[in-house]
Structure 1
């Protein structure tokens, strides 16, 4: 059965903000990526992480429950001439049932907060190579940062089309994940009790500038996008463009995203 993200897949691939370059540099350094590693991109979506890692890996296994996301990722891989990615349908409960080889690096993006995290950490211990590890990354709201006025404009238009109550998690109008302090404290506790208890954390800020079309595309990448809007999708896009340009005719909308990452490995013996 398809998820609400089926119709959002092309927009997700195109309009979600990329993870910071510093995160990819961290992976290359921490796991000495030299083209010989096997990578698992769990909750891959259209391969936002896996496509970037494929040139530095021997093979990437991209796993996601939504066939449309996998199809979009396969299309992008073909466009880029990447032939070392396997696109596998499955969720976080399927890690030990996919008959994967030993994994050197597992990467999980924003989908991690939707998973059974304790089980994922236990299951990963079964598939990770002895020196393998897990890298988590998510774009998060910066505590205390005032919300840009254009985000409020977007939410007002969304409320007219979708009603209220869709501002959490994957449905945030700015594409960030929900406020993170308690989530990351809980994650730290989970990691400390897991087999992957050796943890280092990092964070980076990046400024994202979007055109009016990119702001509209970002909304259509959400789970409450085309699947919920249905035949009102075009009208929603027209209304949102008008409202944004009425608010700021320059047509450029800026947001600073804070990405947090955690790299977890087994303790040294």
Structure 2
């Protein structure tokens, strides 16, 4: 059965911000990616991480529960001429049942908070190579950081179409300084969880970057979210797009919307013996 992400898949691939270049450089250095490694992209979506790592790996296994996301990733791989990816339907509960080869690196992007994390970390202990590890990348909130005014315009339109609870991310705690509340990770909790896992050797990194979007890109980002994708909006999707564009341009006719995003990465390996 498909999920709300099915209708959001093409928007997700096009409008979600890419991961920082510093994160890819960190992985290449930390795991000595030289084209010989096997990578697992768990909760891959349309392969936002897996597609970028494919040129540095021997093979990438992209695993996601949503067929539409996998189909979008496969389309993008073909478009880019990448042939060393396998697109597998599954979730974090299926890691030990996918008959994967020994994995050198598992990457999880903006999806770890949706998983049964303690169980997954135990399962990965049997999947990752002795010198392997995992890297979790997440959107982080920025406590006390100044916030631009235009996101409030987006939230007001979302609330009118979706109701207040849905507009705030299906009832999740509102974190006004985190762009996509669906994807926010509790950074302290993540570090504690990894430190208690088989992969207790943990290093963390954070990067801030400024993102500039057009009005169409702001609208597309909203349609990439499970809480406001076309499956949720239904026959009101076109009206939502029209009203959001109108409200954004009324707020700022320049049509460029700037925001600073914070991304965190936790790299975890087994302790040295």
TM over 0.5: yes
Change (3 A) 1:53 1:143: same
Q: 1:161 and 1:243 mapped to 2: Cα distance?
A: 13
Q: 2:136 and 2:183 mapped to 1: Cα distance?
A: 15
Q: 2:256 and 2:23 mapped to 1: Cα distance?
A: 26
Which runs of 5 or more residues in structure 2 are unaligned? none
Shift of 1:179: 5.6
- Specify the alignment match of 1:231 in structure 2: 235
- Specify the alignment match of 2:86 in structure 1: 86
Are 1:219 and 2:222 an aligned pair?
Answer: yes
- Specify the alignment match of 1:253 in structure 2: 257
Shift of 1:141: 2.0
Which runs of 5 or more residues in structure 1 are unaligned? none
Change (3 A) 1:179 1:41: closer
Summarize the alignment of residues 140-179 of structure 1 with structure 2, pairs less than 5 Å apart.
140-166=140-166, 167-168=168-169, 174-175=179-180
Change (3 A) 1:11 1:189: same
Q: 2:95 and 2:49 mapped to 1: Cα distance?
A: 18
Please tell me whether the aligned partners of residues 70 and 88 of structure 2 are also in contact (alpha carbons under 8 angstroms).
Answer: yes
Q: 1:19 and 1:179 mapped to 2: Cα distance?
A: 14
Summarize the alignment of residues 121-136 of structure 1 with structure 2, pairs less than 5 Å apart.
121-136=121-136
- TM-superposition CA deviations, 1:145-203 (whole Å, max 9, x none): 133211000000011111111223699893355665xx222222221221100000000
- Specify the alignment match of 1:102 in structure 2: 102
Q: 1:55 and 1:103 mapped to 2: Cα distance?
A: 16
Please tell me whether the aligned partners of residues 107 and 134 of structure 1 are also in contact (alpha carbons under 8 angstroms).
Answer: yes
Residue aligned with 1:46, SS: coil
Please tell me whether the aligned partners of residues 36 and 57 of structure 1 are also in contact (alpha carbons under 8 angstroms).
Answer: yes
| TM-score (norm. length: structure 1) | 0.96
Q: 1:233 and 1:251 mapped to 2: Cα distance?
A: 21
- Specify the alignment match of 1:193 in structure 2: 196
| TM-score (norm. length: structure 2) | 0.94
- TM-superposition CA deviations, 1:94-145 (whole Å, max 9, x none): 0000000000000001110000110111011000001000001012221111
- Specify the alignment match of 2:74 in structure 1: 74
Q: 1:104 and 1:245 mapped to 2: Cα distance?
A: 47
Are 1:22 and 2:27 an aligned pair?
Answer: no
Q: 1:17 and 1:175 mapped to 2: Cα distance?
A: 11
Residue aligned with 1:8, SS: helix
Q: 1:265 and 1:252 mapped to 2: Cα distance?
A: 41
Change (3 A) 1:23 1:176: farther
Residue aligned with 2:106, SS: strand
Q: 1:23 and 1:208 mapped to 2: Cα distance?
A: 16
Change (3 A) 1:170 1:53: farther
Query: How many pairs were matched up?
Result: 267
Q: 1:51 and 1:208 mapped to 2: Cα distance?
A: 21
Residue aligned with 2:164, SS: coil
